[in-house]
Structure 1
C-alpha cells in the first residue's frame, strides 16, 4: 500500500493547524504520516501537534524562518513516504481525499498532481466571496482548477500539491522560497518529462484570507510573483496574465478620461459597472446567496486590481 507523507509548513497559525489536523483524523484512507514544519513562528503550534499525536502519525520540527518553499524542502528531507503531499495550513481536507487519490492512481498513475479548492459551507460570506474571486472564469480566466486552460498547461499549486519520491530524488525541492515558488517547481517537473495532471476529485476546502485587506496584500504579491516566474521561464507569461494589468490600467484611466473627454469616461465607467454587475449575478447564482454575491463584487475587483498593481510594480522594478 502506498504511503503518503503530508508536508505542512506553518507560520504563526496554530488555530488553522488544529482545524486541518481535525480533518486529517477523519480520513478514510489511513496510510500516511504528517510532517509539520514550524517556520520560525512566534505563535508556536507544538501544543496543537501534541494534542493530535495519539490519533495521527505526526512529527513536528521547528526551524528558523526561511519561507514556505524552503520549509517544504525541510519536510521532504524528513519524509519516509512514497508520495509527498503538500497542504497549506489554512486548508480543510475532505474525509475521502486520499481515498480518491488512490482510486485515481489505480487507472492512471501520476508523478505529480494538483487538486482544486472550494469553499466549505462553514466559511464566512467574505471567505466564500474571495473563493469566487479566485476561481471564477470572469476573474481568473479559467487558469485555475483545469488541466487545460488559457494560461497553458496545468501547474499544481502548493495548497494542494502531490509529488512522488522519484520526482524529489531527481529534481530536489524548491529553489526559491517565495514569489511563485510552487509554479516554478511545477514547470520544472513538467519540463523534466514527468506526468502531471489535475485530479478534479481531489479537492480541498481552502480558507484563504479572512479579510479583504489581507486579500489585497496576497493578490498584490501574486502579481509580483508572476513576473518572478517570467524571469525563470519567459515563455510561461501568457496573454491571460495581462488581463488584470489591462483591468487595472483601465480603472486608473477612467478619471482621466472623464477630465479629457467626459462622454468616453462615462462610457468606460458604465462598462466597469456592467462587468461588476455580471460578477454579482454570477456569484449570487453560484453561491445561492445575495450576501456572497454582494461581497464578491469588491473581492473580484481586488483580485484583478491588486494583481495588476503587483504585476506592474515588479515589472517596473525589474527595469530600473
Structure 2
C-alpha cells in the first residue's frame, strides 16, 4: 500500500505549542510528501499567524471552527484531508526527526488500520513535565500500558499519537462525542468492526502534557470519569484492575487513620511504595528533583483518577 499521510492537529489556545510542533515537522527525515491540517477549535488566542510562518516549508491547511472539543475537531480534520492514512497528534507534542519514517516502515512491514505510539520527555521539558511523564508511563504506576510492549496485550492507541486509515475512519465515523476516553471508545469500535491496532514502539513523540499539578489532577480526574462509562458501554472490556487507583487512595486514607491510633504497618507499605517510585524515577531520569516530584505526580495521578472513577461510578452524568 502506498501511504499518503495527513497529519491532523487540533489546537485550542496554544499557539506556542503549535510553533514548536510545526518546527519539528519541518525537520522530518522523510522524503515522501505529507500534508498537515491545523484545526483551530474556537480559540480566542489564535494560532493562524504562527501557522503562516511554515507555509513555505510544509503543505499546510488551516481551519478555524466553532469550539466543539478535540474529538469533533479531529473528525473535521479527517473529513477535509486528502491523504489515505491519518496521523493524529496533540498540539503539545514535539515529533522526532525519524517519526514519519518509523511509521511508514512499521506499516509496510505489518499493516494495520490503526496504530498508536508511545510518548517520552524531551530534555528541554521542565522537571515537573518529566515527573508527569514518568508517572504516566512507569510500570510502577500504570503498568506500562502506554507504550511498554511487553506489558500489554491488545494495544489501545491514545489520541496524542494515533494513526487511522481512511477506511477505518469511514467505517467507524471517527471519534465519538465523549469528552474523555474518546480514543479508547474509538479503539473498541475499531475492534468491533474487525480492524486491528498495533503499537509502533519507535514512533514515539515528546509529550509535554500538563504544566502544573492542578492541571494534571484535572486531566487524570477526567480519565477516571471516562472509565465507568466505557465499562458500561463495552461490558466485556471491564476489568477489576480499573478499581485499583480508587482502592489505593481509600487504603491510604485508612492507613493514615490507623497510624493515628498507633498502627503503622499499612502506612509503611505506602512509604516503601513511594520510595520505590523515587528510586526508579531517579534511575530513569538521573535527577533528584525529578525523582522527588515523581512521588507527588504519582500520588496526584492516583488521586485524580481514583476520585474521578468513583464519582462517575456512583454519580454518573449523561454524556
Instruction: Give the corresponding residue for 1:51.
Output: 53
Q: Following TM superposition, by how much is the alpha carbon of 1:219 offset from its aligned partner in structure 2, in angstroms?
A: 0.7
Cα distance in structure 2, aligned partners of 1:172 and 1:147: 28
Q: Following TM superposition, by how much is the alpha carbon of 1:148 offset from its aligned partner in structure 2, in angstroms?
A: 6.2
1:311 paired with 2:317, answer: no
Instruction: Give the corresponding residue for 1:198.
Output: 199
1:289 paired with 2:290, answer: no
| Maintained 8 Å contact 1:68/1:177 | no
Cα distance in structure 2, aligned partners of 1:176 and 1:250: 34
Cα distance in structure 1, aligned partners of 2:71 and 2:148: 24
Cα distance in structure 1, aligned partners of 2:85 and 2:14: 25
SS in structure 1 opposite 2:194?
Answer: coil
Cα distance in structure 1, aligned partners of 2:229 and 2:40: 26
Cα distance in structure 1, aligned partners of 2:42 and 2:247: 38
SS in structure 2 opposite 1:59?
Answer: strand
SS in structure 2 opposite 1:6?
Answer: strand
| Maintained 8 Å contact 2:154/2:197 | no
| Maintained 8 Å contact 1:146/1:154 | no
1:82 paired with 2:80, answer: no
Cα distance in structure 2, aligned partners of 1:44 and 1:254: 48
Instruction: Give the corresponding residue for 2:239.
Output: 238
| Maintained 8 Å contact 2:256/2:267 | no
Instruction: Give the corresponding residue for 1:145.
Output: 147
Q: Following TM superposition, by how much is the alpha carbon of 1:177 offset from its aligned partner in structure 2, in angstroms?
A: 4.0
Instruction: Give the corresponding residue for 1:272.
Output: 270
- Unpaired segments of 5 or more residues in structure 1? none
Task: Deviation per CA, 1:247-305: give whole Å up to 9, x if none.
Answer: 1111222343245xx233x2222111111111000000011111111111101111111
Which TM-score applies when normalising by structure 1? 0.95
SS in structure 2 opposite 1:155?
Answer: coil
| Maintained 8 Å contact 2:12/2:40 | yes
RMSD of equivalent CA atoms: 1.6
SS in structure 1 opposite 2:63?
Answer: strand
Task: Deviation per CA, 1:196-249: give whole Å up to 9, x if none.
Answer: 110111101000011111111111111111122112112222122211111111
Instruction: Give the corresponding residue for 2:24.
Output: 23
Instruction: Give the corresponding residue for 1:181.
Output: 182
Cα distance in structure 1, aligned partners of 2:171 and 2:194: 11
| Maintained 8 Å contact 1:135/1:144 | yes
Larger fraction in helix: 1
